[in-house]
Each structure stands twice: as C-alpha cells, then as structure tokens.
Structure 1
Amino acid sequence: MEEDFQSAYQEEEKRLNDSISEIDLQLKRLQGIDVYTGHDFTEQVLEAAREEKRIALAKSVNEPYFGRLDFQAMQDHERKPLYIGKIGVDQEVITEQPLVIDWRAPVASLFYSFTGGEESTSYEAPEGWIEGLVFLKRNVVIRKQILERVADTYNRENEQPAVSDEFLVYRLGENKDNRLRDIVSTIQAEQDQIIRAAKNTALIIQGVAGSGKTTVALHRLAFLLYQYKEQVTAEKMIIFAPNHMFLDYISDVLPELGVGDIQQSTFADWAMDILELKVPLADAAETLHYWFEYSGGTRELNDEVPGRFKGSLTLMKMISNLIASLETTSVPEGDYSPWEGAVCSRDKILYWYNEEYKPYPLAKRKERVMARIHRWMEMELKKSPSEKVLKERKKKASLREKSYSTKWPKYEPLILYKQLFRALKTSSKLSEESLQGIPASVLKSTQQDLKKDIIREEDLSPLLYIHYLLHNITSEQRFDHIVIDEAQDFSPFQVAVLDLFVRGHSFTILGDLSQGIHAYRGVHEWEEMSSLFQPDHTAYFALTRSYRSTMEIIQFANGILEKGVQSDLMAVPVFRSGDPVRLIPYGKSDEARLSSLQEGLQRLSSKEYRTVAILTRTLREARELHEQLVGNGSDIHLIDGSKQAYQGGLSVLPVYLSKGLEFDAVIVADADLDHYGPQAWDAKLMYVGCTRALHELWILHGEATPDYLGSSEEDIAVQGWPE
C-alpha cells in the first residue's frame, strides 16, 4: 500500500512539474507580445482575448488543478486521465486532450457526480450523452506549485472500490479565516446537481446550516457564465445578501473562480437606489422589536403582523387595484384652454391618453400627453395675428400649462403609498374598495410610521411595485440572473417584484426555514415562494448534509430544532468528530458573568484558531460587552452592522448579525431564560448561534436554561470548563 502511494505521488509530482512548465511557457510567450493600444477593432478583439488568457494562465500557474479522473468512453479504446482545475488550459500545440479541463465543462461533471460502483456512468455533452467507465478519481492539493497531498477517493483496480470522504474531512478540518472560500475541489454530487441546473428556472434551495448553500449559489453563477456565455453577462447578474459585512465575507469566491463584475448588494440598498428615496430606512434591530409589539408579546407571527402583510401578495393585488383606479381617473376634468378662444377638448386628450399612448406606463403616459398638448399649443400659437398677441398668449399658456399639469395625480411611489394607507379619498377619486382588507394593526402602525416619514424594509417592495407600474423599468435595470441568500427572510412580495426585473424567471433562491429569525416579515414555508412561478419554471432542492461543524455541534443543534422549533429539517453531519459542546454556568453576579466570558475567550484564543466569536442576544449587549472586554485589555472587534468588512480574529456580535458567517470557535453568551424564551423564535436564534461554530462550541448561561438546550445523547454536551 505504501509503495502504491509513493508511486502515485511521484507520478503526480512529475505531471505537476510538466504542467507548470507548459503554463509558464505559454504565459511568457503572451507576456512577450506588446499590448495593442490602437483603434483597429479586429486587433482590439485579439488583444482582449490575449489579456484574458494572460490572466487565466497567471491564476493557474501556482495551482493548476485539484483533481484527476481517469475515464474511458465506450467508443474509445483506452482510458484518458483528465485533470480538472478552476480554469481550463489548452496545450500550446493543439491536441485532443486539454492540459487542464475547466471544472464547469460537461465531462468534469463526472468528477462530482460519480459516487462509485462498477457500473458505467455518463455525462451530457453538446453532441449528446457520453457513456463510459471511471477507473480512477483522485484529489490533489497543490499550494504555490508544491504537491502537498494525493488522495484516491475511487480506484476501480482495488479489491473494494468505494468513494471515501477522507479528503473532504481533511479539507473541512482546516481552520477558518475571515473570508469564504471556493469549494471547487470538494463539490458533492447533490451540490453539483444544483450548480448545473438549467438557467431559466427558479431554483429554491432549502439547506441546513453548514450545507454550503451560499457557496453553491456562487459556483452556480460561475457555471451559468461558462455554459450560457452567449446569453448572460456577469454585469447583468446580482447577489442579494443580508448585510454589507456578509457581502465582504463572500467577496473572494467569485474572483477565485475567475469571475468578476457580478453585482452584489442588499435588497434595501438596491431598492433605495431604484426609488431614489431621500428618507432613510428604519434600523433593522429597532424594526424587529417594533413588529414584536404587534404580536402582543406572544411572538405568534401571523399574517396580520404588519411585516408579514406588507410582504403578501394580497397587498400586491391591492396596489394593482390602486393603480388601475388611478389610470381611469388621471386625466383632469374639463377641456384645456391655454388662452381665451383656444380649446383642446378633454375627448381629444382622452384619446391620446387611452389610445395613442396606452402602451406606456402611467408616468410616461402623462409625460407624452403633456408633450402632445404642448405641441398642439405651439401650432395654435402660430395662428396669432401679431407679435403682441403672441407674446401675451405665450405668457398665459405657460401659466395655464403648469396649472393643468398639477391637476394630474403625482406619480410618485411614496405619495401614492401614503394615500393608500391614509385610507382617504384623494383628488384623483381613488376607490375605497382598493383599501378593503387591510388589517387594523397594519393600517394603524403604517399610518403612524408614514406620518413621521419612517420607512421600513418591508415598505420597499410595495414602493418598488408602485414605481414599476408607474415607470416600468429600463433594459439596464433588468438582470440575467438573481441570487437571493437568506431567502427565508424575504417575502413573497419581494420575490414577485424581483421577478419583474429578471429575464426568464432565472433565480437561485436559497435559505433555511430553521434560521428564519426575521419571521415577522419572511416566509414560513417554501410553498410561499414556489407558488409565484409556473411548475415548469421552478425546482426545489434540499441540502441536508452539513459540512461546517463537528458531529457533536450538529447533533446538539439538531436537538434545539427538535425540542424548541419542532422542525424536521435536521442536518446530517459529515463524520468529523471533535470536542463535546460545553454548557458552562455563570456565577450570580455581573462580575462573575464578565469573568466567565473573559476566561472562555482567553482559553479559546490561546488555541490555534483564526476566528473566535462571542454571540450575544442583542446589539446593546454586544456593545456593552465589547466595551468591558476592551477596557480589560482584550483585542476584540465589535460587529454591529456598521462595518463593511469582517476582520476575522476575535469578535463580539449579536446573533442575528452572525447569519451566514462561521467561526472556528463560538461562545454563546447568556443562554438562559432571561434572554432566550421557550418560543420557537428564540430557539431559532439559539440554533443560528450554535451552528456558526466549526470546531468548538461553548454555551455560557445563568441559572435557568431553556429546555431545548438539554441533550439526551452521551458525549455530545458536557457541563463545566475543560480540565
């Protein structure tokens, strides 16, 4: 066995050296060609292709590939070793076999989809399905041109061929830094199926904590750009993430995959930019507690909670009725007369409005009608008998034109939104029928907000929809593909509005219902999303395998779901065992609490961990704790939502801001009934906090803890400090 390993290692080392030499030669040759800066279009295209190849080769030369697959197609007489990397590299001399195959190429799908066995397998190529046999599946780790590891996960010539998780466990055991990394070398079969799904499909992905759903979505973008290069562009794709820090956290993945220029934003930032709102959004943490008041303290988040209603298709229909009512009453009563003796009849204006300019949205229709009236006036002015009369008529016409324009409704989303929730008849004679069905709590709370010019994130979807109905959208605003991360916190209304901005219902919608800590505005079931699309335009995938945490952490977190949330969305761990979860009680005083948190931080930070976090229940508690720890000499970062970047190292932050992030070790502070109640919403918060940890999880608490923190299985959780 040792001899076989040495032989494989030597074989791969020689192949690596040959590959690096070939890539280096190609790169030097291209670098030796002068960069073309002239104006000849053909030469510009050729130079762009050369520069693209220079960049690709420069990225490939240090780590050219990560896997090898020996495959023999049925029509071939011999098996061929296929080396798979992040970026494809051709041989300098054109041959049948590329030097490195791009991981997104059809044949490379076998590296991910093949899960062992003696039977033949197949992949879909442009010319049809190719069937054949896999003889070898090998993972390699190359860092800075050095071969560090060779691991065969399948070998047909062994007595017991089987696919092993040994290489995956090795990669998962690596410590975490302050950036999410690509998973090209460890994509699993169920993840690959999502990545390679057809473009014009709304994919809905339910993924347990640590299932890699975010990374899978980013790899899907890279695949779509490769597979549909003639139909989509990076500039027309967008990722919606929960906050700016999370965007920074994922920012390295796409460049590592050789993909740039994909837009990244929060929904709020994007919507505010479209709407050009001057009113700032209410703070997210304050909004959470605000809506909580309307649940009567029971935390029952039904459809009469304002955030839920504002995200409903019921409100979307109401707004459609509002605009339809506005459409029939927009043209002012009476004829238009710019001066005595000149009359443009209302019937003529209605004809322009209802016939000639009917295809235009309302705001553009008004603009066109007013331009038509202005042209009519100019023709009438030419009939003036003298310069003096012309001058008088122009002056009078200018005033009357402005006055007539003000009689039209103001086509501004915020004004119309306020009209809707004031429940008043306006000068445009909006029908009261369009207001029926708004729950009293929604009407009252929103009236109070809008009176003070308070706009919450849940208001943005209605405002965007009004904007769309008034103005439509430009081609520059339309996307080729949209990724929505943490989609359980999005409403059906949000997704329905986004569908107006994307071609072909092309979505990747991913989230975890068990992490729905913003359930006052998000979805409770994925059917609320899938019902927005035709059955043949949507697909659902469930990722149940968790790759982030140790078995002990995952099983402990599953207990929280089972007992506190009554959820069946349990995670299946990869076999990677670690230390048990620790439940550590405080003393009774504030001093004892702070001392315990400091001791926990010191113990964990003394280990070889790159990232350690303390998670508090609220932002106020995070700020207070940070001030105390810094005052006692700790070098620790506060994450409060104001920073654009996650710095790694030691951090303190509220649980709700930790979503999407992961740390080598986590301390959950104040895990007691004074901070986490028995309700499902509290259990979800605790679940989010616990599942941020890769290797170690310590839970520090006061006297009484929620029932869902108990563990019935041995060796998963232990009491007290490590010895």
Structure 2
Amino acid sequence: MPAPVSRPPTSSTSTSTTSTSPTPTDPRAELAAEQARLERARTELARMREHTLSLTADGGDAIAGEALAHTLWLRAKALQDDPATTLFFGRIDREAAPGDGMEERLYIGRRHVSDGHGDPVVIDWRAGVSTPFYRAGTHDPMGLRLRRRFGVEGGQITAFEDEPLGGTGDGGPVGGADRSSAGASGGASSILAREIERPRIGPMRDIVATIQPEQDEIVRADVATTLCVQGAPGTGKTAVGLHRAAWLLYAFRERLARTGVLVVGPNRAFLEHVGAVLPSLGEVSVRHTTADDLVVGGTSARVRATDSTEVARLKGEARMAGVLREALWGAVGPATEALVVPRGSRRWRVPAYEVQDMLEELRGRGVSYSAARAMLHQRLAHAVMVAMERSGDSPDDRVQDAVARSAPVKAYVKAVWPEVKPGAVLARVLSTGEHLDDDQQALVWEEPPRTAAGARWSAADLVLLDELADLLDRTPSLGHVVLDEAQDLSPMQLRAVGRRASTGSLTILGDLAQGTTPWSTASWEESLRHLGKDLSAPTTHLEELVRGFRVPSAVIDFAARLLPAIAPDLAPPESVRSNPGRLDVIPVDDAVAGAVTATTDAAAHEGSVGVIVPDAWMERAGAALRAAGVEHEVMDGTHAEEGLGVRVFLVPATVAKGLEFDQVVVVEPAAIAAAEPDGRTGLRRLYVVLTRAVSGLTVVHAEPLPGPLAATP
C-alpha cells in the first residue's frame, strides 16, 4: 500500500468546491492547498458565529424573546471552533455528468459551513450527499470518482490519502491506492487505521471520520425505526448510538426539538466518558442520565436502603407491573349508594347500579388512573343532566360543569375513586403482601413503616414508584431515546425507559455476553418486549456488530476464551485492526505490588491507563499507587476525568463497563470473578474488564486464572 502524502503545509490559495482541471501532481502544493481550504473554512465559521452573536433576540414579548435568545445561544455554541480538530476530515469528487464536464468536489466535516453568499464550504457529515463518503467502494462507487481522507495533527492537515473509486480519471494525486472499500481491514487506509488506533486521553471522541459502512447504515436509520444493536467489545456500538442521535437531530430537527432526545447510560463515570461526543458534533441540547437517575427524576423519594440480591431480582421482574396495577386500581371501590345532588329545590339522584356501570367502563378505557377519575366527575354530572332533561329542564354545558365541581359530586368521587399517591400504594403492597404470589413473600417488610413518607426506599423501589406514577399519570414520551448497556437492566427498568419513548423510537445498545446483573436479559426479543417494542414489527430491527475496530486481536482473542462459558450462541468478535496490540499475563506473589509495577510500565506508553481492580481492593490499590508516586484519578461511578492532565485512572471492576483506555492493567481476575453472586456472572464481569484496552493489556495475578483463561488456546 503506498504511503499517504505527508508534507508540512505551505501557503497557497484555497481550492474551490468545483473543479474542471486535473488534480495537481505536486504533493506539497496539493497539501498546502488543502490546508488553505481549512483556514478558509475556519474564517467562514467564525463569520457565521459572529453573525449569530450580533442578532437581537426580539420575539415580540418577554417569553418569546427569552426562547429566541436561548435558541441563538445554542446556535452560537454549536458554531464554536475546536482548534484541536479540523472542520473537515474527508473529500469526495463526484463524476462529471455526461456532457457537463464539471466535476463536483465536496468537503465532508463535522458541521455545515457556508460562505457569505450561502455556498457550501464544508458539508455536514449528516447530509444525504455525504453518505457515499462512508459507503462507496469500487464495487459500488455511488457516483464518486475519488475519496480523500486527511491526516490531522494539532488541528492541522498533515497528510492525505486518495482512494480511486470509479471513472476513467488518472487516479488522483501521488499517494492514492486502488482500494475496494472504506473499511479498516486489509490495509485499506493507513490514515483511517491510524485514526482508529490513535491513543486517547480523556473522554470518548467522536468517530465521525472513521464510521464504517455497517455502522453508517445504523446511524442513518429512519427516526420511526427502533434499532437494537448487539455489539461485541470494540465494535463502536456506543459511538454509533451517539452519532445516530446527532444524525436524527439533523435530519428531523423540528420534530425532535419539540419532543427531545435522551441518552441513558449505566453510571455517571460512563456519562462523563461519552459526554463530549455530541457537543463535538454541534449538538448541545441532548440530555444524559443514568437508569437510576431517570426514575429518581420522577419522584421525590431517595435511595435510603439496599435490597438483597434476591429481593432486588424479585422487584425487577415484569410481573411486578401487574401487582402494582392491581393494587392501584383496587383502590376503586364499588358503588353501594346512589349519588344525590341537591340543586335549587330539587334533589337529583343517580342510582348505584348506574354509577357502577360508569366505574367499569372507565376502568376498561385504558387511560391512567387520574384521567379516569377526572372523567368520573363529568360522567356523574352528565347523568344528572340527563335526569334534568327528562323532567323537562333545559340545562346547558355550564350547568354540567357546575354539577361536576359541586361538593356532593366531589365527595362521592372521593369515596368510590379516592386520590392516591405512589408511595402509599407501594408501602401497602410491601407491608401487607397484597396481590403478591407465595414466592414473592420475600418482598414483605418485616418492620413496615408507619407512613409512606417514612419508608426507606431502595433503588429497585424507585423503579416501582416510577411505574405507579405512570399508572396514575402517563409519562410524557420523548422523540428518541438511546439506551446503552441495555442488557443489564431489569424488566421493570426497561419498562421505565420504554415509557419515555412510548410514541417515539429507541436505539438499544448492548452485548449479551457482558450482562453482569442477576437479572441480565436472556434475549433481545425479551428486552424489546419490556421496552414496549415488538421485534416482529416492520419498524423494529435487530442488528449485530462483530467487527472490532478498537480492541486489538491479542486482547480480544484472550478475552474470547470466556465466550463458550458465558454466551455460547454469540459469534466471536473479529478484530480488524492492523496492529495486534500487546498482551502480557504476569503471575506475581503480591497482586497489588505487581499492579503498581505494571501501571508504571503501562504509563511509559502513549495514552491513557486504566487500572481495573476488584471493588473491595480500591482503597488498598489507591494507597499503593499514591505511595509509589503514581498520580491517578478514581473513577467510582459518581465522578470522573475532572482533569485531563491525569493519564492513570483507578477503576472498580463494576464501573468499567463502557469505558476504554489505551493501556489496561487488570488486577487479580479470580477475585474480580469471585465477587459476583454466581460463576457465570463472574466470568461475564471478567470479560467486560478484559476488553477495555485499545492498545495493550496487562493481567496481573497471584491466584490461578479462571479456567477458560488458564487453558491453552
């Protein structure tokens, strides 16, 4: 494969978006022209931002003005330039139309940039015309003659590499190579491979310059489509989900600006890790939350208790939804007495049997408890109206409203259809065992609280309270929800996420082999059902990513020894990186002391270092690193990456999921596995921590390795 063109840039005039002349053969001049194009793009972006900042937020009134000011602020923030990156990372040259002789040249970047006349300088990667940059190949050029990728260092273009795709041109400038696809396998592009394998420090970067064809198909799926992505470690499923959110906001901005987009992750450390991706793509309005915080946001209750594993599993089962529904609607009593409404000199009566028919009809409508209760007022008032009309009166709508608000109707409704609170219903269920099966009796409190307000709720309880809150008043639906690490959520947690997208769509990301909770899903079909989606529906699809771009083959092959024991039905991941990476398995006498040595050695390499230890070892490992003078930061699930100058991160095994580091030191695999409630879950946890490395993995152990890892491959 010819090396990419790489020369220091020199000053030159910028190229235009349309060219009729052959591509220059002088690499230095060509590189200088592309750098000049970048400088022009930066100048135009600065002009666009200055224009936005100069606009006056006059919406006609205070509320409209405030809304417009916020919109302009978001626009200006999205137009900020990042000097560490380039505004474009690729170029596509389209074939000239027959008889036209004009070849179209488009620069593909993170956002749209136009000149003062409105003509494009950079095309947003999300635009439809950018699709061929990601999907075209010699087998299907998609109208392209050439694709160019740029090498970038410090925000400057330092190299370019061309890929002829079709037509009868001369193949472009020096450095081009005849390649058949945009993939990173088979030596397709050294610039692409370097970008994928480039060491990283700090939060996750966007992958907009390296999106692969199979990833691009997921990213650009229609907004009405719910996608479930089964992805092996290193396949980029998290980044694909985030880029899908960015693409949807671009392609369906007006719709999603009203309904909103939400990203749900496993913990705060994960959200800190991925939080910079969408802002780097110009999207600053997407909300991020964890599955736990999602339900906390819907209730004033807070976690003050911890359930046993068995109790937490029982509370997370889908049948709890039926228990709560029965308990809530069981509050509606039978109509044993007639409703009597005095009005003027008359007393109007609605028989009990007629009221009972109303109750049954309202219960069967499928609306929320509170909505049905509000309807009952009007139903009773209407029955009184009918009685008035039968007696010869002519009441109008104002009379019906007055009757619905009258004291007798309010008192009657309160008696047969009382107002309830989620906490009171759940406290009653958990203290009395009402509606619970025999095998659910472990849920009953031995010492029930005297009041719901005094209850000590667990994390699983908050999910149940969220379910009850939805039964009382329907949860508003968002336009799109991205759910990562979905395999770890209980059925009740999945229901909580699903109702946030009841009229919208979802992107569900996960890996069945990385399920590490006692309630991990057995299949994606089951998870989708709890989310309120049907895999057999034409708008719901299951996709599988097996090509790994981040985890090197030496690392993934070692971790894959665990797959037959933890997920025998899944295809093993395939690393397509040119660099096999580094794997060191080091037996030691003292695992913590060995970890310090291994961390020092790993820090000699470029990039970030993650030291992953059993949760119970965090204090001991941290003390050992401090004593050795190793500066590090703790990622404990509540905070992370406060200072990008720190390269070493100490991570408990239960928080490692979703994170990536260039160098990873895994300390005492046997202890990590043994900390889980059963052997299979322990091996799955181990599979997770072993696949966090994107360059090199060091395994330090004093105890024997778990069987599948100890065996000779």
Fold shared by both chains (TM-score > 0.5): yes
Q: Does 1:549 align with 2:551?
A: yes
- Distance in 1 separating the partners of 2:636 and 2:3: 52
Match of 2:94 in 1: 71
Q: Does 1:194 align with 2:218?
A: yes
Q: 1:312-339: CA deviations, max 9, x gaps?
A: 4433344444445444x2667676799x
Match of 2:109 in 1: 85
- Distance in 2 separating the partners of 1:404 and 1:28: 63
Identical-pair percentage: 23
Structure 1 residues 363-442: aligned runs within 5 Å: 363-366=370-373, 405=414, 409=418, 411-422=420-431, 434-435=435-436, 438=437, 440=439, 442=440
Letter in 1 for 2:217: Q
- Distance in 1 separating the partners of 2:67 and 2:526: 47
Q: Does 1:140 align with 2:150?
A: yes
By how many angstroms is 1:409 displaced? Answer: 4.7
Could you say what secondary structure the match of 2:578 adopts? coil
Letter in 2 for 1:507: L
Aligned in 2, Cα 1:446/1:240: closer, same or farther, shift over 3 Å?
Answer: farther
TM-score by length of 2: 0.78
**CA-atom RMSD, angstroms?**
4.0
Provide structure 2 residue ranges, at least 5 long, that are not aligned to the other structure.
8-25, 182-187, 385-405
Aligned in 2, Cα 1:24/1:43: closer, same or farther, shift over 3 Å?
Answer: farther
By how many angstroms is 1:187 displaced? Answer: 0.3
Structure 1 residues 320-719: aligned runs within 5 Å: 320-327=325-332, 329=333, 347=352, 361-366=368-373, 405=414, 409=418, 411-422=420-431, 434-435=435-436, 438=437, 440=439, 442-448=440-446, 453-473=455-475, 477-502=476-501, 504-518=503-517, 520-531=518-529, 532-533=533-534, 534-562=536-564, 565-566=567-568, 568-578=570-580, 580-587=582-589, 592-605=590-603, 607-618=604-615, 620-643=616-639, 645=641, 647=643, 648-672=646-670, 676=674, 679-710=679-710, 712-713=712-713
Match of 1:249 in 2: 273
Match of 1:13 in 2: 32
By how many angstroms is 1:276 displaced? Answer: 2.5
Contact 1:549 1:693 in 2 (8 A): yes
Aligned in 2, Cα 1:111/1:460: closer, same or farther, shift over 3 Å?
Answer: same
How many positions carry a matched residue from both structures? 638
- Distance in 2 separating the partners of 1:552 and 1:530: 34
By how many angstroms is 1:47 displaced? Answer: 8.9
Match of 2:180 in 1: 162
Contact 2:218 2:240 in 1 (8 A): yes
Match of 1:24 in 2: 43
Contact 1:669 1:701 in 2 (8 A): yes
Contact 2:612 2:664 in 1 (8 A): yes
By how many angstroms is 1:362 displaced? Answer: 2.1
- Distance in 1 separating the partners of 2:68 and 2:324: 52
Could you say what secondary structure the match of 2:161 adopts? strand
- Distance in 2 separating the partners of 1:601 and 1:159: 40
Could you say what secondary structure the match of 2:612 adopts? strand
Could you say what secondary structure the match of 1:539 adopts? strand
Contact 1:546 1:573 in 2 (8 A): yes
- Distance in 1 separating the partners of 2:269 and 2:193: 28
Aligned in 2, Cα 1:356/1:651: closer, same or farther, shift over 3 Å?
Answer: closer
Q: 1:170-217: CA deviations, max 9, x gaps?
A: 013322212010000000001000000111122100011111111111
By how many angstroms is 1:249 displaced? Answer: 1.2
By how many angstroms is 1:344 displaced? Answer: 7.0
Structure 1 residues 176-325: aligned runs within 5 Å: 176-233=200-257, 236-277=260-301, 279-280=302-303, 282=305, 290-291=308-309, 294=310, 306-325=311-330
By how many angstroms is 1:373 displaced? Answer: 9.3
Q: 1:396-448: CA deviations, max 9, x gaps?
A: x99998899478555222332343445556xxxxxxxx54xx361x3214545
Contact 1:421 1:447 in 2 (8 A): yes
Corresponding residue to 1:35 among 55, 67, 71: 55
- Distance in 2 separating the partners of 1:414 and 1:681: 33
Contact 1:556 1:711 in 2 (8 A): no
Match of 2:403 in 1: none
Letter in 1 for 2:198: E
- Distance in 1 separating the partners of 2:244 and 2:109: 16
- Distance in 1 separating the partners of 2:70 and 2:303: 42
Letter in 1 for 2:180: A
Contact 1:200 1:505 in 2 (8 A): yes
- Distance in 2 separating the partners of 1:516 and 1:524: 9
By how many angstroms is 1:261 displaced? Answer: 1.2
Letter in 2 for 1:314: R
Provide structure 1 residue ranges, at least 5 long, that are not aligned to the other structure.
123-131, 295-305, 378-396, 426-433, 714-723
Could you say what secondary structure the match of 1:535 adopts? coil
Contact 2:269 2:636 in 1 (8 A): no
By how many angstroms is 1:656 displaced? Answer: 1.3
Aligned in 2, Cα 1:174/1:323: closer, same or farther, shift over 3 Å?
Answer: same
Q: 1:561-620: CA deviations, max 9, x gaps?
A: 235654533111023335542221222xxxx33322222222222x143422221222x2
Could you say what secondary structure the match of 2:694 adopts? strand
Aligned in 2, Cα 1:331/1:178: closer, same or farther, shift over 3 Å?
Answer: farther
Match of 1:110 in 2: 132
By how many angstroms is 1:557 displaced? Answer: 1.1
Q: 1:50-105: CA deviations, max 9, x gaps?
A: 8777656543887221001112276665432221011112343355xx32111011
- Distance in 2 separating the partners of 1:193 and 1:684: 29
- Distance in 2 separating the partners of 1:460 and 1:146: 50
Could you say what secondary structure the match of 1:517 adopts? coil
Contact 1:202 1:538 in 2 (8 A): yes
Contact 1:585 1:701 in 2 (8 A): yes
- Distance in 2 separating the partners of 1:443 and 1:49: 53
By how many angstroms is 1:699 displaced? Answer: 1.1
Could you say what secondary structure the match of 2:556 adopts? helix
Task: Please say which of residues 35-44 and 492-501 is displaced more in the overlay.
Answer: 35-44
By how many angstroms is 1:309 displaced? Answer: 4.6
Contact 2:481 2:507 in 1 (8 A): yes
Letter in 1 for 2:150: V
Contact 1:177 1:610 in 2 (8 A): yes
- Distance in 1 separating the partners of 2:60 and 2:326: 55
Task: Please say which of residues 408-417 and 248-257 is displaced more in the overlay.
Answer: 408-417
Could you say what secondary structure the match of 2:298 adopts? helix
Aligned in 2, Cα 1:353/1:67: closer, same or farther, shift over 3 Å?
Answer: same
Structure 1 residues 119-134: aligned runs within 5 Å: 119-122=139-142, 132=143, 134=144
- Distance in 1 separating the partners of 2:67 and 2:377: 46
Could you say what secondary structure the match of 2:151 adopts? strand
